[in-house]
Amino acid sequence: MDLLPTPEQDEIVTTVRAQLDSDFDLHSLAAADGATRVIGADLWERCAGLGWFGLGLEEDLGGVGYGLAEETLLFGELGRHATPGPFLATVLGARVAAQVGASEAAAAILDGTAPVALAEEEAAGAGDAHLRIRDLDGARYVLVVATERVSLLPAEALAATAVESLDLLVPLSIAPLPDLSDPVASLTGDAAGLLRRRGTVLVGAELAGIATGCAEQSVAYAVDREQFGVPIGSFQAVKHRCADMAVRAEAATSSVRLAALALADGRSDAAFLVEAARVVATDAAIGNAQTNVFNHGGIGFTWEHTAHRYVTRSQVLSRTLGDRHDHLHALLDEPAPG
């Protein structure tokens, strides 16, 4: 199986990267730290105009017509830039609406006028379940990922309360479980499971992108920063740390690409590969984010530097659509390849 991008896929990456460099600079976005809405409506609609929200959605459902492989390239770049915003929920929400024939909702999501927040069911300390919601302010819909189903609800259906977020560019709220009996769109059974796996691959791609971005940031600093008259990258300890980061990033990227192709092709080992890729990508992102701060020394611990953005984002993503423990446990239930 060829995991290398085609020239057309490389062009997608180049286009996405240029847009993120222009519109999602982390230093500029720092002004939105702690805001309830980080990405404005105009910028969100520009992303929609580039076809990002329907990149992997079939043309007959209103999408661009590429596949999961291309979506992973998009989300890899989002991770590489530590890009905030409800991209995951919007991409998945558009698919849910389109698949069940909710064409009006799907069109509004795809053209950027109806952002989608992500809500995940989780148990409180006393065992009472509630929803943990990302990017609710400004959203028209909420994608509720529950144990047995995935539902798209109007945002006003939730009585949410804002709470403190580890990542100041990822607004967080909590809400009681809503009534799911009359959703805008809903998937259950195998369809819901397939959507969750697709989302797991995209989160893995974003985590792999974080691992790559951290490795690149460390290498650039090791080349530019001098000590005792030579670049610090010439020191064996720094050189080896950067090499380890590159290996982790490549392993994560390759694992995610393999999982995406296996899931798209309906392979029997797809579920195992998806769970494995998510674990590998999680470890790579968290490990590289921490090492990146360490490689930058004192400046890496400052609020002005962007290294800490990757630390907090990797932690938030590692708990999105399940945590590391959930995915390790799921591996036990899936047959290994071969």
- Which positions ≥6 away from 209 have C-beta within 8 Å? 75, 76, 77, 78, 79, 80, 81
Quick: pLDDT tens for 261-281: 999 999 999 999 999 999 999
Q: Are strands 149-154 and 141-145 parallel, antiparallel or unpaired?
A: antiparallel
Quick: pLDDT tens for 298-327: 888 898 899 999 999 999 999 999 999 999
Please check the confidence at residue 34 and state whether its pLDDT lies above 80.
yes
What's the one-letter identity of residue 84? P
| pLDDT for 283 | 98
Quick: pLDDT tens for 70-106: 999 999 999 999 999 999 999 999 999 999 999 999 9
Cα–Cα distance for residue pair 301/213, rounded to 1 Å: 17
| pLDDT for 166 | 95
267-282: b or e for each residue (b if 16 or more CB lie within 10 Å)? bebbbbbbbbbbbbbb
List the domains of the chain with CATH numbers.
190-332 (1.20.140.10)
Residues in the chain, overall count: 338
CA atoms within 13 A on the CB side of 55: 25
Mean pLDDT within 162-188? 94
**Structure letter (DSSP) for residue 153:** E
Cα–Cα distance for residue pair 194/116, rounded to 1 Å: 19
Please work out, in degrees rounded to the nearest 5, the angle formed at the alpha carbon of residue 16 by the alpha carbons of 276 and 251: 25
| pLDDT for 291 | 97
Average pLDDT over all residues of the chain: 93
DSSP string covering 74-133: HHHHHHHTT--SSHHHHHHHHHHHHHTT-HHHHHHHHTTSS-EEEEEEEE-TTS-EEEEE
User: What count of other Cβ atoms lies within 10 Å of the Cβ of residue 176?
Assistant: 12
Quick: pLDDT tens for 47-75: 999 999 999 999 999 999 999 999 999 99
**Structure letter (DSSP) for residue 36:** S
| pLDDT for 179 | 86
State phi, psi for 325 to the nearest 5 degrees.
-60, -45
Cα–Cα distance for residue pair 110/78, rounded to 1 Å: 18
Q: Is the pTM of this model over 0.85?
A: yes
| pLDDT for 123 | 67
**Structure letter (DSSP) for residue 30:** G
Cα–Cα distance for residue pair 178/277, rounded to 1 Å: 32
pLDDT cut 70: percent of the chain above it: 97
